[in-house]
């Protein structure tokens, strides 16, 4: 099976040129002007951008939570991702406190295996680090191809680990060649503020926001960065939202420490004024919450300064009925919002088209850096000879409107309802096969593969 993409404008994290791309099987075989190879199929990409498939390294599909599950399955979630030009996602396995990492991996595999349309991997969330868990780390990195270990500094009694466990985990992960990633907010401070607001009868979504002020994130980010420096363990902060937290990372760079920062599309585009809309604000209840306009400026600048390396989504959708579990108490609103489908198009429209970032930077933070940081480069994340043929053909001029009625995520509202954006995904290839064309998904569930990742370097 072979395919030739003709005359596209090829964009990678560092290049921008017009060329043909010849694909054989799952791989890119040749790139050049006027390629003469005979191909089974030819796609004309004149006037189009051609860039690597997006990688969203922060999603939660079919995740058990508060007696329910996030509403996108591996099938619906990875399919929606493909519609938006994201060919691979990294999901999170959550260890149950008191149980093994392996038990959690088995549980997640039972939901994911055979169901994904797009490619996927897992981060292993360690919620209980002890002598037993410690022995499993090496196996996960070397045998399972899972080299990143997520930690929570918040959600006490469920997911949170204390600093003693954090240091122990970092020392072991460092030794075995992995990375520790973190939800960096101060769990004790947040617990106190949540209880205080509930006691005062302040229960609307606005108080979700007011229970997680910027200082809770800035403090925890600095503490995480310091512990990573002390243990010399590669570190990655997920969904960083605000100026205070980014300053902690900026300070760390002054001692030549490498800490990776991920933000999410919503923190660049949406702000906390949405929580003023009574219970409608529940659509954007997530942790950390949306912040201020000044934080958006900080994050865009952080991308251009090279401090913010990745733009992800933290996609964790819940239908409106599920969100209503917290109608009388913000602390019972399932946390998360849907974004897996629109990350690439939103970042293009609001980032590249509006002049905030370059096309190369766009590819870097949405495709290339996630592959480099998490041990998949150059198989994934770029357009190069020998790489997987994960390719997006993108019309930079087509305008369209985001609505819940036309999206492909399994959720009955859109966090970006009515947004008119410019730039649209036209054709998507995943490992050499056409996945999306003419607004249709051609691949079936089960095509998506679990991608084993290698050890990480801790700098890119
Ligand atoms: Zn998350």
Write out pLDDT tens, residues 191-226: 999 999 999 999 999 999 999 999 999 999 999 999
15 CA from centroid of ligand 1 (Å): 32
d(CA 147, CA 326): 35
311 CA from centroid of ligand 1 (Å): 13
Enter the tokens of residue 190. Answer: 């947040």
Write out pLDDT tens, residues 404-435: 999 999 999 999 999 999 999 999 999 999 99
314 CA from centroid of ligand 1 (Å): 5
312 CA from centroid of ligand 1 (Å): 10
Write out pLDDT tens, residues 267-311: 999 999 999 989 999 999 999 999 999 999 999 999 999 999 999
418 CA from centroid of ligand 1 (Å): 25
186 CA from centroid of ligand 1 (Å): 16
With beta carbons less than 8 A apart as the criterion, state whether 204 and 279 touch: yes
288 CA from centroid of ligand 1 (Å): 9
d(CA 249, CA 315): 24
- Could you tell me the pTM of the whole model? 0.98
Enter the tokens of residue 196. Answer: 């205080």
With beta carbons less than 8 A apart as the criterion, state whether 285 and 323 touch: yes
Closest to 263 (Cα-Cα) out of 286, 231, 279, 233: 286
Task: Report whether pLDDT(354) > 90.
Answer: yes
301 CA from centroid of ligand 1 (Å): 23
Pairing mode, if any, of strands 16-24 and 235-237? unpaired
d(CA 79, CA 75): 6
353 CA from centroid of ligand 1 (Å): 28
**pLDDT band of 66, cuts 50, 70, 90:** confident
Positive or negative: CA dihedral 313, 314, 317, 318: negative
96 CA from centroid of ligand 1 (Å): 16
152 CA from centroid of ligand 1 (Å): 10
């Amino acid at each position: 099976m072979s395919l030739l993409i003709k005359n596209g404008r090829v964009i990678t994290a560092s290049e921008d040129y017009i060329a043909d791309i010849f694909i054989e099987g799952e791989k890119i075989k040749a790139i050049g002007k006027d390629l003469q190879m005979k191909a089974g199929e030819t796609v004309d990409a004149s006037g189009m951008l051609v860039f690597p498939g997006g990688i969203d390294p922060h999603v939660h599909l079919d995740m058990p939570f508060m007696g329910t599950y996030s509403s996108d399955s591996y099938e619906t979630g990875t399919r929606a991702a493909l519609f938006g030009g994201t060919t691979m996602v990294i999901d999170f396995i959550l260890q149950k406190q008191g149980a093994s990492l392996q038990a959690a991996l088995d549980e997640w595999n039972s939901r994911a295996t055979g169901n994904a349309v797009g490619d996927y991997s897992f981060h292993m969330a360690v919620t209980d680090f002890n002598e037993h868990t410690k022995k499993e780390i090496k196996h996960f990195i070397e045998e399972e191809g899972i080299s990143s270990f997520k930690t929570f500094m918040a959600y006490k009694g469920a997911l949170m680990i204390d600093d003693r466990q954090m240091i122990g985990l970092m020392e072991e992960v460092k030794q075995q060649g992995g990375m520790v990633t973190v939800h960096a907010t101060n769990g004790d401070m947040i617990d106190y503020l949540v209880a205080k607001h509930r006691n005062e009868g302040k229960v609307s979504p606005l108080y979700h926001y007011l229970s997680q002020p910027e200082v809770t994130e800035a403090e925890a980010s600095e503490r995480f960065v310091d512990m990573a420096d002390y243990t010399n363990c590669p570190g990655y902060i997920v969904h960083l939202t605000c100026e205070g937290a980014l300053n902690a990372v900026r300070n760390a760079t002054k001692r030549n420490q490498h800490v990776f920062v991920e933000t999410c599309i919503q923190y660049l585009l949406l702000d906390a004024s949405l929580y003023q809309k009574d219970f409608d604000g529940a659509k954007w209840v997530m942790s950390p919450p949306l912040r201020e306009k000044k934080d958006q400026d900080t994050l865009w600048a952080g991308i251009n300064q090279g401090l913010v390396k990745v733009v992800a989504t933290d996609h964790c959708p819940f239908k409106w009925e599920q969100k209503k579990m917290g109608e009388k108490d913000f602390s019972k609103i399932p946390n998360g919002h849907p974004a897996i489908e629109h990350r690439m198009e939103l970042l293009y429209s609001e980032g590249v088209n509006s002049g905030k970032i370059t096309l190369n930077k766009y590819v870097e933070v949405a495709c290339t850096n996630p592959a480099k940081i998490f041990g998949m480069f150059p198989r994934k994340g770029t357009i190069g000879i020998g790489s997987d043929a994960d390719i997006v053909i993108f019309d930079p001029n087509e305008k369209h409107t985001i609505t819940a009625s036309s999206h492909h995520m399994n959720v009955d509202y859109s966090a970006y309802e009515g947004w008119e954006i410019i730039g649209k995904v036209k054709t998507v290839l995943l490992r050499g096969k056409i996945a999306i064309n003419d607004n249709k998904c051609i691949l079936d569930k089960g095509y998506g593969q679990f991608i084993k990742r290698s050890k990480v370097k801790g700098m890119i």
